[in-house]
């Protein structure tokens, strides 16, 4: 295979995430320096593949980007070659399968193997392309850390640093004003960011999608603290936490495409209710996209670099339809079909949850 392989293509799909540039840099540098391969950067995720937007990467493009957040290739979490907007009818967008065109474009770009860096959505598309004969290698990214086939995704650690720093800062006002401070963090339907940052930041209550909560239980925790002279509390809420009635809170829902629904606003609902029921002044902070931005941590840079190098090795070995992953402390690979089969959620019986409870954190259950 090594002799046949001349040019890799790489695209970043889905939400941006700290560490993407480390991956692009690693794929390019390994290809140039070690294997004498060319690398095409396909811009704006799968849109670039569909619309034939790309450029040949050189050493200058990938110099000085290791510490930079975002992606030099651009990204989108909307464009799917199997469901792409192809027109409008009666005021509604009409979607069509343009995967044939996208695959033909890979040939036009001279791409022998496509490296897709993405979360579950982009990696599912990568799997479908593989099933249609494209030579694909996947690299997992997401701040949500919700992919079951890898122990960790890069981006998660940086998001945790940002969220933990926010909790540290919220403590100041909470203590000074004797308030309840509620922080909403991202994570979609998984509570990983809330759980890890809440523990690291010494939160009093952590509310996650995987553990149903009641207001009574949250209030008990606040009152128990008050009885010990602690007149403030910090609550970390995952954006996907379900209200006691079992419903999510959305900023926006898209009628014909639930994949584009935007979670957000649950902390405001919870904060209002807590203030009403407890009489304690309560303030809400939504951390939002700050969690996705900024300088990647050393861990994320190194994980991205390790994933990038491994992806090139898989491509050279002819091991397509695979996704690189971290297993313990080893870089490995799994079938793409397995990688996206199951979302990784917090197990309420997990050691981490038990540890948090042991040190007095309430999950509102
Ligand atoms: O998957 C990453 C993520 O940041 C989620 O945590 C969040 O729900 C979503 O993306 C936000 O997406 P957008 O950038 O489209 O608002």
Give the DSSP per-residue string, 299-344: HHHHHHHHHHHHHHHHHHHT--SEEEEEETTEEEEEEHHHHTTSB-
How far apart CA 136 and CA 115 sit, in angstroms, is 6
Query: How confident is the model at residue 54, as a pLDDT?
Result: 98
Query: How confident is the model at residue 240, as a pLDDT?
Result: 98
Ligand 1 site, residue 187, Cβ cutoff 6 A: yes
Ligand 1 site, residue 142, Cβ cutoff 6 A: yes
Q: Which of 16, 112, 144, 204 is catalytic?
A: 144
Mean pLDDT of 265-293: 97
pLDDT digit string, tens, across residues 296-313: 999 999 999 999 999 999
Q: Where are the domains of the chain?
A: 2-154+296-328, 158-293+347-358
Superfamily for the 158-293+347-358 domain: Phosphofructokinase domain (3.40.50.460)
Mean pLDDT of 60-83: 96
Identical topology for domains 2-154+296-328 and 158-293+347-358: yes
Tell me the pLDDT of the chain averaged across its residues: 96
Ligand 1 site, residue 188, Cβ cutoff 6 A: yes
Using CA atoms, how far residue 183 sits from 80, 164, 197, 258, 279, in Å, is 33, 10, 11, 25, 19
pLDDT digit string, tens, across residues 244-273: 999 999 999 887 777 778 999 999 999 999
Residue 98: CB partners within 8 Å, gap ≥ 6? 50, 81, 84, 86
pLDDT at residue 2 tops 80: no
Tell me the pTM. 0.96
Name the residue of 15, 19, 250, 260 to mutate for ligand 1: max ligand atoms within 8 A of Cβ.
Answer: 15
pLDDT at residue 1 tops 80: no
Task: Name beta bridge partners: 296.
Answer: none
Name the residue of 14, 186, 251 to mutate for ligand 1: max ligand atoms within 8 A of Cβ.
Answer: 186
How far apart CA 274 and CA 233 sit, in angstroms, is 11
The residue whose CA is least distant from atom 13 of ligand 1 is 15
Per-residue confidence at 3, pLDDT binned at 50, 70, 90?
low
Q: How far, in Å, from the CA of 239 to the mean position of ligand 1? A: 10
| Cα 227 to the center of its chain, rounded Å | 39
Ligand 1 site, residue 163, Cβ cutoff 6 A: no
Query: How confident is the model at residue 254, as a pLDDT?
Result: 80
How far apart CA 118 and CA 217 sit, in angstroms, is 38
Class of the CATH domain delimited by 2-154+296-328 = alpha beta
Ligand 1 site, residue 155, Cβ cutoff 6 A: no
**Residue 144 catalytic?**
yes
């Amino acid at each position: 295979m090594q002799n046949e392989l001349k040019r890799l293509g790489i695209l970043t799909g889905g939400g941006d995430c700290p560490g993407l540039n480390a991956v692009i840099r690693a794929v390019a540098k390994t290809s140039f320096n070690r294997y004498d391969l060319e690398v095409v950067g396909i811009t704006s995720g799968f849109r670039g593949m569909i619309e034939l937007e790309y450029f040949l990467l050189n050493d200058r493009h990938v110099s000085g980007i290791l510490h930079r957040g975002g992606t030099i290739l651009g990204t989108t979490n909307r464009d799917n070659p199997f469901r792409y907007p192809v027109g409008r009818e009666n005021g509604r967008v009409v979607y069509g399968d343009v995967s044939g065109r996208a695959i033909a474009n890979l040939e036009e770009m001279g791409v022998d193997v496509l490296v897709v860096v993405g979360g579950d959505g982009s990696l599912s598309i990568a799997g479908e392309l593989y099933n249609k004969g494209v030579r694909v290698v996947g690299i997992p990214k997401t701040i949500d850390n919700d992919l079951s086939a890898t122990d960790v995704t890069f981006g998660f650690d940086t998001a945790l640093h940002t969220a933990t720093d926010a909790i540290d800062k919220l403590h100041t006002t909470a203590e000074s004003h004797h308030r309840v401070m509620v922080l909403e963090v991202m994570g979609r339907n998984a509570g990983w960011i809330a759980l890890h940052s809440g523990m690291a930041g010494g939160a009093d209550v952590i509310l996650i999608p995987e553990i149903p909560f009641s207001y009574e239980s949250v209030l008990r925790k606040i009152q128990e603290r008050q009885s010990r002279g602690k007149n403030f509390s910090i609550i970390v809420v995952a954006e996907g936490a379900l209200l006691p009635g079992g419903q999510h809170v959305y900023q926006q829902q898209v009628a014909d495409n639930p994949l584009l629904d935007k979670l957000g606003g649950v902390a405001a609902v919870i904060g209002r209710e807590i203030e009403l029921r407890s009489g304690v002044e309560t303030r809400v902070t939504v951390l939002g996209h700050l969690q996705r931005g900024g300088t990647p941590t050393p861990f994320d840079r190194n994980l991205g670099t390790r994933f990038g190098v491994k992806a090139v090795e898989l491509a050279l070995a002819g091991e397509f339809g695979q996704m690189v992953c971290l297993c313990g402390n080893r870089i490995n690979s799994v079938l793409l079909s397995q990688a996206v089969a199951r979302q990784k959620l917090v197990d309420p019986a997990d050691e981490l949850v038990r540890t948090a409870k042991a040190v007095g954190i309430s999950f509102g259950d």
